[in-house]
Amino acid sequence: MAKKEIKRYSLEFGKKEKVLNYATQTYQLSRPNKVGAVMALIRECQPNTIEEWEQWYFKNAKTTGKNNFKITKKSLKELGERLYEKITEVVIPEWQEAFNALTKEDCYNYIYNLTINRTYDGYLREKSVVNDGLAKVFPNVRFEESPPELDHAGDIDYLGYVTKEKAFGVQIKPVTAKSNFGNYSISERMKASFESFKDDYQGNVFIVFSLDGEIANKEVIDQIKAEIKRLKKISSEK
């Protein structure tokens, strides 16, 4: 039986796609606090046509966060104007300077550094956060690295087993001292992965920000404590 072909409505931007995507992500212009939680919104809408979705979106969509507001065609146009300003005034000059200074040796060193040095740095940070941080705060929890065969392995770094079968997940994200991780928001794909993990292990997934191998978002400790208590209660009720 032939596979049904799904029509695509997305526009093609060719070679411009990379710079448009880079700048949009860098300056967080497509986050839920700018355009709303679009995947959650479209699931709520359940449209049969793109016209139905478009009309529903502009009638119902709001940005997330404390100062949320209704999204309009004008507000999306303003985001587009901001994107253009960032690309022309910041991205292009920065890239042009980098292009002019780039050497073949830089390319070799970058690939080597990315593969060896950064991987090892990340490994050390993860080990430090878990072994010197979480494992000492929660000595009765068994922490294990996420096995490669786990469906959620790309999004979950460690499992914290509260019982033999019930566990919470840990994703470790490195940050710098200047990072504003309080505004960090996970993607719709990651949300789905976290929900799938919860279906399998009953536990929620927690994002732990690592600053030089230490836990930067200290409030996550209390959140994990509450989760451990919840999972233990579920186990005792069975």
The model carries a pTM of: 0.63
Distances (CA, A) of 170 to 102, 120, 206, 207, 217: 38, 19, 5, 6, 13
Overall average pLDDT of the 135-154 stretch: 83
**In whole angstroms, what is the distance from residue 149 CA to residue 126 CA?**
19
The type of residue at 83 is L
Rounded Cα distance, 177 and 180, in Å: 9
Nearest to 40, CA basis, from 184, 155, 183, 188: 188
pLDDT at 179: 57
How would residue 88 be classed by pLDDT, with cut points 50, 70 and 90? very high
**Pairing between strand 214-215 and 142-145?**
unpaired
Q: 211 has which bridge partners?
A: 214
Indicate if the pLDDT at residue 153 is higher than 70: no
Model confidence at 205: pLDDT above 90? yes
* Torsion, CA 74, CA 75, CA 80, CA 84, rounded to 10: 100
The 10s digit of each residue's pLDDT in 1-49 is 555 567 888 899 999 999 999 999 999 999 889 999 888 899 899 999 9
Nearest of 164, 168, 160, 155 to residue 133 by alpha carbon: 160
pLDDT, residue 62, reads 92
Q: Which residues contact 238 (CB under 8 A, 6 or more apart)?
A: none
Q: Which two tokens stand for residue 126?
A: 């993860």
**176 pLDDT tier (thresholds 50, 70, 90):** low
Dist CA 143 CA 161 (whole Å): 6
Distance CA 133, CA 172 (A): 12
Q: How many CB atoms lie within 10 A of CB 74?
A: 7
Q: Quick one: what percent of the chain has pLDDT higher than 90?
A: 57
Q: What is the mean pLDDT of the chain?
A: 88
What structural domains does the chain harbor?
Answer: 16-102 (no CATH), 111-237 (3.40.1350)
Cβ 42 vs Cβ 54: under 8 Å: no
CB 199 within 8 A of CB 164: no
Q: What is the DSSP letter of 91?
A: I
Lowest mean pLDDT among 2-6, 88-92, 170-174, 176-180: 176-180
Residue pair 228/167 in contact by the 8 Å Cβ criterion: no
Locus of tokens 């392995």 = 153
